[in-house]
Amino acid sequence: MNNSEEKMDNVEISEEQMSNEEAQATENIEVLKSKDSEEVDYKAKYFYMAAEMDNLRKRLEREKSQVIKFGTEGILSDLVQVVDTFELTLKAVRNVEDEQVKNIVVGLDMVNNQFLSTLKNHGLEKIETKEGVDFDPNFHEAIGQEEGKKENKIIRQEQSGYILNGRVLRASKVIVSK
């Protein structure tokens, strides 16, 4: 073999090696691209999970706040029935002329006011319903109608309504004009 033939063989080997190296480089690039896309997938999953955790934390805080605000709803609803009975009792004995009964009524009024004040401290407030005010279905429940001067006005309240932390616990039961 002469010198020029050896150079040709080396060139052929070099071209062959070049195409093998190019193929290998292309494979390496593909592997790197797939690893980059896997990294991007992991990052996207991480950010998604971080957002999910943040949303979960916020939702739990909201639910906790609601439980604190309205967790007493059941017992306060039951106590409202006691207040109604107490007020009916006061209404029945208020007009008695006996001096001893009048003194008892004063004491019962004080107990009633203290009880209502305690309920108010726990977020329960009475819905103020006055005669002649427009009927509002958000706060009132019409249990009857009577003739009146103007239509859809409250004539009288039959049972008090209550609001617990801004939400109606029980609507006022009223008679409405027709």
pLDDT (tens digit per residue) in 53-84: 999 999 999 999 888 888 888 889 899 999 99
Q: Please indicate, yes or no, whether residues 144 and 89 belong to a single structural domain of this protein.
A: yes
Full DSSP string of 115-178: HHHHHHHTTEEEPP--TTPBP-TTTEEEEEEE--SSTTBEEEEEE--EEETTEEEEPEEEEEE-
Confidence category of residue 25, pLDDT binned at 50, 70, 90: confident
Q: Is the pLDDT of residue 154 over 70?
A: yes
Q: Please indicate, yes or no, whether residues 37 and 103 belong to a single structural domain of this protein.
A: no
Q: Please indicate, yes or no, whether residues 108 and 167 belong to a single structural domain of this protein.
A: yes
Q: Please indicate, yes or no, whether residues 76 and 158 belong to a single structural domain of this protein.
A: yes
Q: Please indicate, yes or no, whether residues 63 and 117 belong to a single structural domain of this protein.
A: no
Please state whether the predicted TM-score (pTM) of the whole model is above 0.95.
no
Number of domains in the chain: 2
Q: Please indicate, yes or no, whether residues 87 and 98 belong to a single structural domain of this protein.
A: yes
Quote the pLDDT of residue 178: 85
What does the alpha-carbon distance between residue 112 and residue 37 come to, in Å, rounded to a whole number? 71
Q: Is the pLDDT of residue 30 over 60?
A: yes
Higher pLDDT, 15 or 81: 81
Is residue 162 within 8 Å of 127, Cβ to Cβ?
yes
Residues in Cβ contact with 111 at an 8 Å cutoff, skipping those fewer than 6 apart = 86
Q: Please indicate, yes or no, whether residues 83 and 52 belong to a single structural domain of this protein.
A: no
Residue-range definition of the domain harbouring residue 116: 71-177
